[in-house]
A and B are shown apart, each in its own frame.
Chain A
Amino acid sequence: MSGAFPGSGALTVVRLARAAGQRPYVLVGLTGFFAGLAAGWLIATSNHLAYSVPYAVLDAVEVWSSVAIGLYYWSNRPTSRLGNLLVAFGFSNAAIGLQGSSNPLISNLGVLAEVPVLILIVWLILVYQRPRLGGSGRWILASWGSLVMALYGPWLLLHPTVMTPTALGACNANCPANPLLIVSAPGTLEPLLSRPVGAWRIGAFILLAVVFLRYFPTLRRSAAERQVMLPVLVIFSIWLLGSTAYGAVQLTDRESQVLFWVLYHGRAIFPFAFLAGLIASEMLTASSLRTVIRLLDSGSRLNEEATLADALSDPDIKLAFWIPASDQFVDTDGAHVGPPTANSGRVMTEFRRGGQLIGGIISDAAISQHPELLEAAARVVSIAVDKRRLEGDLKTARENLSNSRAESAAATETQRRRIERDLHDSLQQELLAVDMRVQLARNLTQDVALRDRLTGISEDLALARQNMRDIARGLQPANVLAQGLTPPLAEAAQRAPIPVVFRASGVGRYPADVEAAIYFCCLEALQNAEKHGGQDTHASIDIIGSDDALSFTVRDGGRGFDQTRAQGQGLRNMFERMNGIGGWLTIESRAGQGTTISGGIPLRKDRPRG
């Protein structure tokens, strides 16, 4: 159903919130119990049934087991019709107890109750593990019903006494007369009706063939189907095989009687076969759920499709995500997913959350009969849907952050270039002009003391210009732009007033903002070491490039500092610079134990290298 795939009958809609149907468990249970009790009492107290006590016990057990197992199905398979049929099977068996009545008409009704019992046996098999009876199922059921009616109809109308064609249901001399008798023809019908071998064998053989044709190929589909179908199919097949063989093989009367007893009354075991199937199904469900939980808890990156395939023992399972914008399902790769073809043995189950279609699975048809498995699958699909959405959001957020950082870095870079240009174009010119005038003044005087003073002023001006150039270089490291990181840092290490060891490994060229940030941070860290390291301080600069990251470490053996109090502008600048390029920075320092400043940036493969 659902409009997603109009016309496809293979779709089922399952909501995450399990539909809880209230059923009259207690009423039906109590009714079944007393019905079984009444049937047993009627048979046991009968004065015309030859084996009244064992027959009563067998029938009561059949009633109670069928109703109880039917209720169990109600509880565990609320969408399955099997529970209803088992309950009906139980009450039909209860009606068989009417055979114990001394009233001929009521006793006949008890015999007639064999008809729905036999029909229900086949009906149960046909709907077991099937969402619907289907056209062929209805045909089989109708044929079987006709066969059973053909077996019982003439008996009811043409035989002077009506008794069930079972060993335990045999009459003694007090057998009630048939009130529906039209023509008494025992001589003609007796051979056929007392031992209805021919009709029964033919019908049973046909059904056996149909069951094999209908069900056994599906056993190859999945472990789930096999595990759940086997108990029922094996018991049913043995029963049918025996029934078919009965009469086809020459047996002594005694052997024939024993086999007939076993086969006919063996139907009492059917409800337990369905119970075994349900238990197998529950075990499969528990195992599957354990697998799902284990995989969900494993902490590893979850592959939802593989998880479900593993958990549900269906290697071909497919996840489908509903894309409202394009009004279609897509698979994990984003390709369109259509409904499974008819007779493929696979069905699509849709999942909704809050009434909204979110996705589904295409799985073995057997899985669609397990509400717990579908619920687990729905949870996994729900996780997958959320994960896809979160991954999409994360990707967008990353792109936004990256763009924001790039814009911020570009704006900062523009600002730096402007400041540097202003320094060069204004202050540098001014200082140079002043220096020229000072030198001119010095040339004009013969006063040695004044000349010395003017020379000192000129030297101060030269130093001021040098400092200004250094500042400008820090803002816009043109040498780094031209040469990369290694030569300028090596030069800075050499120029430093303290001994500095410089080591570089695998360092290539990187985007300008990355090189500028790392260069600046190394210089800042080195200046910290120079300023605050104390006497005899030494330092090292290590810069390492790899395929994945570019990192640096500046260590000094100086006095160190208390990190909790360190709030210098230099440190803040370093953090801002590294943060601006998406990198990291760590500072380790303790008073008296030197300082280690390290940082780096992960290099994405798609990030252009300079």
Chain B
Amino acid sequence: MTGANGSAASVLIVDDSSTFRTAFRSYLLDQSACEVAEAPSGEAAVKMCRELSPKIVFMDLRMPGIGGLEACRQIRAASADTRLVLLSASLRDAPQDLTTSGAARIMTKDELLVPGRIRALVQQLME
């Protein structure tokens, strides 16, 4: 876990690709002022959410282990306050039972790169 200032991170990035996590972390910090932590798997994310209670979780949909969908369900079951964003390589991969995941929304990773989109999203979810 990487928490800014040792306090509870406000944003948690969950992805099995360290390259993506690192790049997205930098990108996120550039786009909005927030504290960012990273988790490499769904299981780690569930554990870190219990410890850090992040405000927003960016969760990759497809990961080894329990996967993003199940991780979202478990996090939602533990905390109703955490806002969950599912990230997918393609919307075609979006599961039919998305509503049961408790995710606030699902978006493609490409969408993260639309200028201004990530800043507006973080701002909206932090409110």
A residues contacting B by CB (< 8 A) are 421, 424-426, 428-430, 432-437, 439-440, 443, 458, 462, 465, 469, 478-479, 482
B89: CB under 8 A from chain A?
yes
Chain B residues positioned under 8 Å from A443 (CB to CB)? 30
Instruction: Report how far A482 CA is from B92 CA in the complex, Å.
Output: 9
Contact check, A439 vs B93: say whether CB atoms are below 8 A apart: no
Q: Contacts A440-B30, A465-B110 given: A433-B24 contact, CB under 8 Å?
A: yes
B residues contacting A by CB (< 8 A) are 15-17, 19-20, 22-24, 26-27, 30, 62, 89-90, 92-93, 109-110, 112-113
Chain A residues positioned under 8 Å from B109 (CB to CB)? 428-429, 432
Chain B residues positioned under 8 Å from A432 (CB to CB)? 20, 23, 109-110, 112-113
For this complex, 22 residue pairs linking A to B, each with C-beta atoms less than 8 Å apart, are: A424-B62, A425-B16, A428-B109, A429-B17, A429-B19, A429-B109, A432-B110, A432-B113, A433-B24, A435-B113, A436-B24, A436-B27, A437-B23, A437-B27, A439-B113, A440-B27, A440-B30, A458-B113, A465-B110, A469-B89, A479-B92, A482-B92
Chain A residues positioned under 8 Å from B16 (CB to CB)? 425
Among residues of A, the one whose C-beta sits closest to the C-beta of B27 is A436
Chain B residues positioned under 8 Å from A469 (CB to CB)? 89-90
Closest beta carbon of chain B to A467's beta carbon, Å: 13
Q: Is the interface of B mostly helix, strand, loop or mixed?
A: helix
Closest beta carbon of chain A to B102's beta carbon, Å: 24
Closest beta carbon of chain B to A445's beta carbon, Å: 13
Chain B residues positioned under 8 Å from A439 (CB to CB)? 27, 113
Among residues of A, the one whose C-beta sits closest to the C-beta of B63 is A425
Contact check, B17 vs A425: say whether CB atoms are below 8 A apart: yes
Closest beta carbon of chain B to A547's beta carbon, Å: 31
For the complex of A and B, 4 pairs with smallest distance between CB atoms:
A433-B23, A429-B17, A436-B23, A436-B27
Contact check, A478 vs B92: say whether CB atoms are below 8 A apart: yes
Closest beta carbon of chain A to B52's beta carbon, Å: 23
Contact check, B26 vs A437: say whether CB atoms are below 8 A apart: yes
Among residues of A, the one whose C-beta sits closest to the C-beta of B64 is A425
Which of B17, B30, B62, B110 makes the CB contact (< 8 A) with A433? B17
Instruction: Report how far A38 CA is from B95 CA in the complex, Å.
Output: 112
Chain B residues positioned under 8 Å from A478 (CB to CB)? 90, 92-93
Closest beta carbon of chain A to B19's beta carbon, Å: 4
Which of B23, B26, B89, B110 makes the CB contact (< 8 A) with A462? B110
Instruction: Report how far A429 CA is from B17 CA in the complex, Å.
Output: 7
Chain A residues positioned under 8 Å from B27 (CB to CB)? 436-437, 439-440
Contact check, B19 vs A430: say whether CB atoms are below 8 A apart: yes
Closest beta carbon of chain B to A522's beta carbon, Å: 19
Closest beta carbon of chain B to A459's beta carbon, Å: 11
Instruction: Report how far A426 CA is from B20 CA in the complex, Å.
Output: 10
Instruction: Report how far A457 CA is from B93 CA in the complex, Å.
Output: 27
Q: Contacts A436-B27, A437-B26 given: A429-B20 contact, CB under 8 Å?
A: yes
Instruction: Report how far A421 CA is from B62 CA in the complex, Å.
Output: 9
Instruction: Report how far A478 CA is from B16 CA in the complex, Å.
Output: 23
Known: A432-B20, A432-B23, A462-B113. 11 other contacts (CB 8 A): A429-B15, A429-B109, A430-B19, A432-B109, A433-B19, A433-B20, A434-B23, A437-B26, A440-B27, A478-B92, A479-B92
Instruction: Report how far A510 CA is from B60 CA in the complex, Å.
Output: 32
Instruction: Report how far A424 CA is from B24 CA in the complex, Å.
Output: 16
Instruction: Report how far A241 CA is from B102 CA in the complex, Å.
Output: 110
Among residues of A, the one whose C-beta sits closest to the C-beta of B25 is A436
Contact check, A436 vs B113: say whether CB atoms are below 8 A apart: yes
Closest beta carbon of chain B to A520's beta carbon, Å: 16
Closest beta carbon of chain B to A265's beta carbon, Å: 105
Instruction: Report how far A436 CA is from B28 CA in the complex, Å.
Output: 10
Closest beta carbon of chain B to A475's beta carbon, Å: 13
Closest beta carbon of chain B to A518's beta carbon, Å: 19
Among residues of B, the one whose C-beta sits closest to the C-beta of A424 is B89
Chain A residues positioned under 8 Å from B30 (CB to CB)? 440, 443
Closest beta carbon of chain B to A596's beta carbon, Å: 31
Instruction: Report how far A437 CA is from B113 CA in the complex, Å.
Output: 10
Closest beta carbon of chain B to A509's beta carbon, Å: 17
Closest beta carbon of chain B to A569's beta carbon, Å: 26
Chain A residues positioned under 8 Å from B113 (CB to CB)? 432, 435-436, 439, 458, 462
Chain B residues positioned under 8 Å from A434 (CB to CB)? 23
Contact check, A428 vs B89: say whether CB atoms are below 8 A apart: yes
Among residues of A, the one whose C-beta sits closest to the C-beta of B60 is A429
Closest beta carbon of chain B to A405's beta carbon, Å: 27
